[in-house]
Amino acid sequence: MTDVIDRAGTLEQWQREAAIQAARASPKTPQQVVIDGVIVCARCWQPIPQARLKTVPDAALCVPCKSLQEQP
| Contact residues for Zn ion, defined by CB under 5 A | 41, 43-44, 62, 65
- Provide the minimum distance between the beta carbon of 1 and Zn ion in the complex, in angstroms, as a whole number: 30
Q: How far is the CB of 5 from Zn ion (least distance, A)?
A: 26
- What is the b/e burial string over 10-35, where b = at least 16 CB atoms within 10 angstroms of the residue's CB? eeeebeebbeebbeeeeeeebebbeb
8 or 68: whose CB is closer to Zn ion?
68
We find the least distance from the C-beta atom of residue 63 to Zn ion, in angstroms, to be 8
